[in-house]
Amino acid sequence: MTPLAAAANENLAEISNYLIYSSMAVYMLAFFAHIAEWTFGSRSKVGRTAAALTGAKESGAAGAAAAAPAVRVRGKGGATAVLDQPKVTTRSAAGARDVPDGPGAAGGTVQGDLYGRIAVSLTALAFLVEAAGVVARALSVQRAPWGNMYEFSITFSTVAVGVYLVLLALKKNVGWLGLILVTTVLLDLGIAVTWLYTDSDQLVPALHSYWLWIHVSTAIFCGAVFYIGAAGAVLYLFRDSYESQLEAGRTPGRFRSSVLERLPSAASLDKFSYRINAAVFPLWTFTIIAGAIWAGDAWGRYWNWDPKEVWSFVTWVAYACYLHARATAGWKGRKAAYLALFAFACWIWNYYGVNILLSGKHSYAGV
């Protein structure tokens, strides 16, 4: 490489770093805008979901009483007395609550909606800046920017935000994800620039392959989508607990009610998490197969029982069990959510734990 080309690559690396830090600043502004959205949205009518649940139970009880015939008792001398139908208490089956989705973080308020739109706009701007930083990093090393954990991390958060924005553009009800997403992206980028940063450099010989573009890109995309599915599962657990409290006649705290009553219903969050995980699972299967083919080309064996390979397969098994349980055993609700979160925890361990704590043929962390 000529000195001029080396200087140009170094300048591109500096530009990439500047863009990544700039995106963090814009994400921080989006974070505060989301906080304002939730704050002003809390001024909406609290207890909308509670009213819906209570109304459904009362209307159901009234309907049952009206449909049930009165009980007539014949006494001595032919006299009769009319008694009320005994009150029957029924319990809804798990996942069978007929609860509408909440109004969203803005809570139906004008100010909340304004800050929500500002937050989405800032998130989109930060996404563009971060994506430009990833592209500048790729140009500085003249290869796919996925050769170490720093590059993987900045690309991962970019893809996660991109998936969120695409879902919003498709009019999907994912506005509730904004604050959680921006918070975790800031955490991801903070870890990347603080502990995972690696200077621009060329790949180790084993990674010089077109399979880098195929295998690693699909792994990043799958991880980003799995993350969104896991976020849905976490919020499902909170919302389901909230609905259960209301159904049992207990009154949650004011803050808890203000936040959780604006989320989609537990049934909607459960369905969302399942659909997201089911949609990306075939691609994760392809990721493992592509990695095996690449391993055969690079090391002469398709499977080497490397820690990265083993935990990728463990993650595949965990998600396969989750989808199988949903499809055949009828697992819905909390058990399915716990299994989905366990599967995503396997993916997280495969990324951070295996890369940093374990050694193997995939030891390209660069930290």
Identify the DSSP state of 204.
P
Residue type, 286: F
**CA–CA distance, 318 with 355 (Å, rounded to integer):** 20
Q: Domain residues of the chain, as ranges?
A: 7-43+101-202, 214-366
Which residues lie closer than 8 Å to 41 by C-beta, 6 or more apart?
A: 103, 104, 105, 106, 107, 108, 109, 112, 116, 262
* Token representation of residue 342: 């366990």
- Nearest alpha carbon to residue 350 among 308, 289, 304, 287: 308
**Full 3-state SS string of 53-98:** HHHHHHHHHHHHHHHCCCEEEECHHHCEEEECCCCCCCCCCCCCCC
| 25, containing H or E segment | helix 3-41
The residues facing 83 across adjacent strands are 71
- Per-residue model confidence as pLDDT tens for the chain (367 residues): 677 767 777 889 899 999 999 999 999 999 999 999 999 988 655 444 444 444 444 444 444 433 434 434 344 455 444 433 333 333 333 445 778 899 999 988 999 999 999 999 999 999 999 999 999 999 998 888 888 899 999 999 999 999 999 999 999 999 999 999 999 999 999 999 999 998 877 666 667 788 889 999 999 999 999 999 999 999 999 999 999 999 988 888 888 899 999 999 999 999 999 999 999 999 999 999 999 998 888 788 888 888 999 999 999 999 999 999 988 877 878 999 999 999 999 999 999 999 888 776 665 555 5
**CA–CA distance, 223 with 157 (Å, rounded to integer):** 10
Neighbours of 309 (CB within 10 A): 21
Phi and psi dihedrals of 12, rounded to 5? -65, -40
Query: Which pLDDT score is estimated for 82?
Result: 42
